[in-house]
């Protein structure tokens, strides 16, 4: 029963993310927002993801009550999109509130998932999130005739996310950390090259998450075809989630390096062949590695590095998807044009470089 409830949560959580990521930028463009304004609006949520974990170093604990508040606040935020979407400043504030919620909800569930399922079954539950993301990308592309249609979908998927999220509370997700975690001071500086790599990797995704739909429509593809591109990427992601367990038994840092290298190639191909549908499908296929395999390997790697596992996941989402996403959205909005994905490829190359720095630091630590 836990597997069903957790998988259902993933379905609707990532379906909501799909609406927010794929369609809301297009909606904002259609009602008169500029590319730079869209970048700013979508940068605020990840910025709040970055700021929020610092409150949990000493002052707050991510427990059942905080998780419940975050779920309910996300429901309020999704409802407020109806009255804020036509006002740039109100929309900014609402997206910031949403960012706070996202910085709490998923880290809580990810740790619970790893604790209850282990790395062998984690991917088989997490893949349902990809199914939810894919389903909404296909369905909504056919019915997005005016802005409020997207908002209706977003509200419905959020309601269902909150429903199944509340069901997970009964599994006592107030996970008791080890005795070591109670005295260990949490620090990102110990593994700073790895954290900086996480930041750069997600910064490189700023162009993809915020402007891929717009980029491809302006290169001649229909919105329906773009929804198929998103869906194809998710299908490949689902396959890697299902079959990734044996891969995750080898050196996790090596797996992460491979995923980042694939991402460098992925962005560079989009830059070289912006009008090629075949290349677009191929690069979406690489999403299996640059997101699916990368995400699982990073979560497991951090799970082994830190004894305070919830806080480690919060900072992962904060520094990577938060600060990295914020900077990526701002830079992508500013650089939008011919060289958008070339800049993403260069940034991802930087992420790969710092993984080798981390590897070198690990070797020194072993020698000591």
C-alpha–C-alpha distance, residues 121 and 7, integer Å? 11
- Reading the block at residue 118, the tokens are 């282990």
Q: How many domains does the structure of the chain reveal?
A: 1
Task: Indicate which CATH number applies to the domain containing 237.
Answer: 1.20.1250.20
The pLDDT value recorded for residue 183 is 44
pLDDT tops 70 at residue 172:
no
C-alpha–C-alpha distance, residues 135 and 100, integer Å? 26
pLDDT tops 50 at residue 273:
yes
Percent of the chain exceeding pLDDT 70 equals 92
pLDDT tops 80 at residue 104:
yes
Question: Where is average pLDDT lowest: 54-68, 93-107, 266-280, 329-343?
Answer: 54-68
In whole numbers, what is the pLDDT of the chain averaged over residues? 85
The pLDDT value recorded for residue 367 is 45
Greater confidence, 196 or 146? 196
C-alpha–C-alpha distance, residues 316 and 114, integer Å? 15
C-alpha–C-alpha distance, residues 130 and 338, integer Å? 30
The pLDDT value recorded for residue 182 is 47
**366: confidence class by pLDDT, cuts 50, 70, 90:** very low
C-alpha closest to that of 238 among 278, 162, 295: 295
**Whose structure tokens read 């997005």?**
144
Question: Where is average pLDDT lowest: 14-18, 99-103, 243-247?
Answer: 99-103
Q: What is the pLDDT of residues 144-158, one digit of tens each?
A: 767 678 888 899 999
> Could you tell me the residue range of the domain that residue 297 belongs to?
2-367
- How many Cβ atoms are within 10 Å of 41's Cβ, its own excluded? 24
**74: confidence class by pLDDT, cuts 50, 70, 90:** very high
C-alpha–C-alpha distance, residues 207 and 329, integer Å? 7
Q: What is the pLDDT of residues 222-244, one digit of tens each?
A: 888 888 898 898 899 889 988 88
Interacting residues of 346 by C-beta distance below 8 A, sequence separation 6+: none
Do 329 and 25 touch, CB atoms closer than 8 A? no
**180: confidence class by pLDDT, cuts 50, 70, 90:** very low
The pLDDT value recorded for residue 45 is 78
C-alpha–C-alpha distance, residues 217 and 26, integer Å? 10
Three-state SS letters, the chain: CHHHHHHHHHHHHHHHHHHHHHHHHHHHHHCCCCHHHHHHHHHHHHHHHHHHHHHHCCCCCCCHHHHHHHHHHHHHHHHHHHHHCCCHHHHHHHHHHHHHHHHHHHHHHHHHHHHHHHHHHHHHHHHHHHHHHHHHHHHHHHHCCCHHHHHHHHHHHHHHHHHHHHHHHHHCCCCCCCHHHHHCCCCCHHHHHHHHHHHHHHHHCHHHHHHHHHHHHCCCCCHHHHHHHHHHHHHHHHHHHHHCCCHHHCCHHHHHHHHHHHHHHHHHHHHHCCCCHHHHHHHHHCHHHHHHHHHHHHHHHHHHHCCCHHHHHHHHHHHHHHHHHHHHHHHHHHHCCCCHHHHHHHHHHHHHHHHHHHHHHHHHHHHC
Q: What is the pLDDT of residues 40-65, one digit of tens each?
A: 887 787 778 788 887 776 666 777 88
pLDDT tops 80 at residue 200:
yes
**341: confidence class by pLDDT, cuts 50, 70, 90:** very high
Question: For 326-341, what is the mean pLDDT?
Answer: 87
The pLDDT value recorded for residue 75 is 94
**178: confidence class by pLDDT, cuts 50, 70, 90:** very low
pLDDT tops 60 at residue 166:
yes
Decide: residue 249, CB within 10 A, 0-12 exposed, 13-18 middle, 19+ buried.
Answer: exposed
Interacting residues of 148 by C-beta distance below 8 A, sequence separation 6+: 82
Q: Phi and psi of 151, rounded to 5°? A: -65, -35
Q: Model pTM?
A: 0.77
């Amino acid at each position: 029963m836990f597997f069903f409830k957790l998988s259902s949560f993933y379905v609707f959580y990532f379906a909501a993310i799909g609406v927010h990521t794929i369609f809301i930028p297009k909606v904002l463009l259609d009602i008169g927002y500029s590319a730079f304004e869209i970048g700013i609006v979508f940068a605020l949520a990840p910025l709040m993801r970055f700021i929020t974990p610092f409150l949990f170093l000493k002052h707050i604990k991510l427990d059942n009550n905080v998780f419940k508040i975050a779920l309910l606040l996300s429901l309020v935020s999704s409802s407020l999109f109806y009255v804020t979407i036509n006002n740039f400043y109100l929309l900014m504030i609402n997206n910031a509130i949403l960012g706070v919620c996202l910085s709490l909800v998923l880290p809580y569930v990810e740790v619970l998932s790893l604790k209850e399922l282990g790395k062998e079954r984690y991917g088989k539950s997490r893949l349902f999130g990809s199914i939810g993301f894919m389903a909404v990308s296909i369905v909504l592309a056919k019915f997005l005739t005016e802005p409020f249609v997207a908002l209706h979908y977003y509200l419905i998927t959020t309601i269902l996310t909150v429903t199944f999220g509340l069901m997970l509370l009964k599994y006592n997700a107030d996970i008791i950390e080890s005795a070591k975690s109670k005295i260990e001071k949490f620090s990102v500086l110990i593994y700073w090259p790895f954290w900086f790599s996480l930041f750069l990797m997600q910064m490189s995704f700023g162009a993809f998450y915020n402007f891929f739909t717009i980029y491809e429509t302006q290169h001649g593809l229909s919105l329906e075809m773009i929804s198929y591109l998103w869906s194809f990427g998710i299908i490949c992601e689902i396959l890697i989630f299902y079959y990734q367990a044996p891969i995750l038994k080898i050196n996790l840092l090596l797996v992460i390096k491979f995923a980042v290298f694939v991402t460098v190639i992925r962005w560079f191909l989009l830059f070289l062949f912006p009008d090629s549908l075949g290349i677009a499908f191929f690069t979406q296929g690489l999403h299996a590695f640059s997101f699916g395999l990368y995400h699982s390997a990073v979560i497991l790697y951090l799970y082994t590095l830190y004894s305070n596992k919830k806080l480690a996941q919060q900072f992962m989402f904060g520094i990577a998807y938060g600060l990295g996403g914020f900077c990526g959205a701002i830079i992508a909005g500013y650089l939008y044009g011919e060289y958008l994905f070339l800049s993403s490829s260069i940034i991802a190359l930087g992420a790969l470089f710092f993984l080798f720095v981390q590897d070198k630091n690990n070797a020194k630590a072993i020698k000591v």
